[in-house]
Amino acid sequence: MSDPRKFRMLPFLILMVAMIAMPAFAQPSNAPSAATASGTLLSVSAQGEASRVPDIASMSVGVVTRADEGETAMRDNATRMNRVMASIKAAGIAEADIQTTGVSLHPQYRHVRDEAPRVTGYEARNTVRIKVRDLSRLGDVLDTLAREGANQIHGPSFEIDEPEPVHDEARLAALAKAQARAKTYADALGLQVRRIVSISEGGGGFHPMPMMAMARSADMAESTPVAPGESTVSVNLDVVFELGR
C-alpha cells in the first residue's frame, strides 16, 4: 500500500521545479538600456557669462570719536551719528536698507618700555551698512555723509538687485556652449549626439567690470565721482552627453 504522505508532497515538489525552471524575464527599472550600453559617454565642461549694469551700491558708514572718558566718547559719537543717520534718511534711503553692523568702545593705551601700559583715552565707534538704490545720487550721498560727521566710509560695492534672471542667462549660454562642443566631438568621431545624460552646475562668480563715469555738465556742482561699471556673473556646467550612430 502506498504511503499517502508522498501524494501530499507531490504538488509542492512540482511547484518548486516550476519556479527553478522559470526564466527571469523582469529587469530592474534602473538597468541600462541598450542605447546607453552601446553609446559613448562624453563629459563636457563649459562656462557661460551674462552682464548687467548694477543698480545697487552698498557701503559701510561710521563715526569714530575719541575722548579722555568713555562716557564722553560715546556721547560725542551718538551726537554725530544721529546727524549722519538723519542725513541717510533725508537722502531717501529706506529703513530696510539701513543696518547697524557694530557699536564699540575701546580704551586707548600708551606703551612705554619697561612700564605697564597706561590708558590715555577711549575710542567709540558706530557703523551702519546702507544700500543706495539711486546710483545717480551716490556721489552726492557720499559727500553729504562726510559733511554731516561720518569719518569712516568703506565701499561702495555694486550689486544687481535681482540677479537670478542674469544667472539664468549665463546658464543658457553655458549650456549652448557645451552642446556646441559635444557636436564638435561627435562630428569628428562620425557620431551623433543622442541625448544629455546629466547636468551638474558648479560654482559661478561675480565680476565687476569698470566703466567710464558719466560726464557731468559744467553748471552742476562737483561731487565725489563714482563709476558703477558693469557686473558680470558666470555659471559653470558639467554636462554628460551620449554619442552614438
Q: For residue range 2-23, list pLDDT tens digits in order.
A: 455 444 444 443 333 333 333 4
Strand segments, DSSP code E, in the chain are: 40-52, 56-67, 98-110, 118-132, 152-159, 192-209, 230-244
Which of the listed residues 159, 185, 214 is the one where a domain comes to its end? 159
Kindly report the pTM of this predicted structure: 0.63
Give the pLDDT score at 223.
76
CB atoms within 10 A of CB 187: 11
* 70 plus 149 within the same structural domain: yes
Helix (H/G/I), strand (E/B), else coil: 188: helix
- Output the CA–CA distances (angstroms, integers) from residue 200 to 34, 207, 236, in the order listed: 24, 22, 8
* 123 plus 147 within the same structural domain: yes
* Contact between residue 236 and residue 167 where contact means Cβ atoms under 8 Å apart: no
Position 90 in a domain: yes
* 237 plus 171 within the same structural domain: yes
Which of the listed residues 132, 159, 186 is the one where a domain comes to its end? 159
What's the number of domains the chain is made of? 2
Q: 110 has which bridge partners? A: 118
* 66 plus 93 within the same structural domain: yes
| Side-by-side strand order, sheet with 40-52 | 40-52, 230-244, 192-209
Position 26 in a domain: no
Segments forming the whole domain that contains residue 126: 56-159
Which of the listed residues 134, 159, 184 is the one where a domain comes to its end? 159
Q: In tens digits, what is the pLDDT along the chain, a chain of 245 residues?
A: 445 544 444 444 333 333 333 343 333 434 344 344 468 999 999 999 999 999 999 999 999 999 999 999 999 999 999 999 999 999 999 999 999 999 999 999 998 888 888 999 999 999 999 999 999 999 999 999 999 999 999 989 999 999 999 999 999 999 999 999 999 999 999 999 999 999 999 866 655 544 333 333 333 356 788 888 888 999 999 999 999 98
